A and B are shown apart, each in its own frame.
Chain A
Amino acid sequence: MDFGNTAQLQLILPDGVTFSSASGEFLQSVPEPASLSLVAVGIAALLLRRRRD
């Protein structure tokens, strides 16, 4: 017999409002490697285009 669950916390704020946490850690996760790779590809494309121009 299995019982299992996962939970995701989310803080929903009005526009322009931000927050800080006592731990300094809450919901401060860095982008995943896949996201970082996409950003790197984007920067590389921009640099290439600038060089061509």
Chain B
Amino acid sequence: MRVLRAFLPRMKTRTLALALLLTGATLQSAYAITSNPIDPNLPLTTHASVLCGTGSNVTGAASASCFKADEVDGTSLPLQVVIGASDARADLLTGTLRAKATSQTLNDGVNLLRQGGLASATLYDTITILNIPLNQSVPVELRMTVHGAFTLDPASPFGAGGQMSDVLRGFTDQGLFGASGIRIFSGNAGTAFVDSSNSLGTGRITNNSVNGTFEDGADLEAESSVTFLATASAPTFSFTSQLFVDSAV
């Protein structure tokens, strides 16, 4: 009993010291982000930002959404009006983003009315991985699955075109550890293709593997991901994810 009494306080002290040591090590290694990666002028508590057409950015702590119809009035012409519509949403709670842009062109052979659309949605957050076994590292994958659809005008003399892109980035205070995404571009030739010079990482895409193009009206599926190796002493990383669409005329 005497031995037990003598040993117990020492055990408590040692356990407490070990716990403090581990906590201290974790706190030292968990980096604190210093500026908002969406926009350095935004507070760190703003995690979502969207933009629609000619409007201003709309931001929120965990979600944001916007819709804008930009109208061109042609009442002095036989043509009446065209509308370019833009729609964007970003939501941390469900981890979803949406961006849609629609353009419209009217042409009677003499007069022309046209209006484009533009939409962007961005999320960011800082993730800390928990329950990592001591002296081990665990791979953590952040994956972004994109479903898209587009309808193109036939080749036109108006220079109609558009683009859609998705980008996923992972970083720590040591800098960028991963980036992945694709950009799909359509010029006025009436075909859409993957712009490989502006595509990052290894996205899985559903375009024609031979010529790289998408059929008009085809559905698009793309997958982008970044992988973080988390350890008990370095369990934290941040990410940004963005969707962007631009339907120009």
A27 within 8 A of B: yes
CB distance from B243 to the nearest CB of A (A): 5
A32 to nearest B CB, angstroms?
10
How many residues from A make CB contacts under 8 Å with B? 27
Q: Which of A4, A12, A20, A26 contacts B100 (CB 8 A)?
A: A4
The answer to whether the Cβ of A13 comes within 8 Å of any Cβ in the partner chain is yes
A29 to B103, CA, bound (A): 33
Q: Does residue B50 face the partner (Cβ distance < 8 Å to A)?
A: no
Docked pose: A41 CA to B141 CA in angstroms = 36
B247 & A22 in contact (Cβ 8 Å cutoff): no
Known: A21-B127, A23-B61, A26-B127. A4 touches B149 (CB 8 A): yes
**Interface residues in B87-112 (C-beta closer than 8 Å to A):** 87, 92-103, 105
Decide: A7 and B146 in contact? CB cutoff 8 A. Answer: yes
Indicate if the CB atoms of B241 and A5 lie closer than 8 Å: no
List A contacts of B117 (CB < 8 A).
3
Instruction: Given A11-B127, A21-B128, output 14 extra A-B contacts at Cβ < 8 Å.
Output: A1-B150, A3-B101, A3-B163, A3-B246, A5-B164, A5-B166, A5-B243, A8-B145, A10-B145, A14-B138, A17-B129, A17-B230, A20-B130, A22-B44
Chain B residues with CB under 8 Å of chain A are 33, 44-45, 47, 61-62, 87, 92-103, 105, 117, 123, 125-132, 138-153, 160, 162-164, 166, 220, 230, 241, 243, 245-247, 249
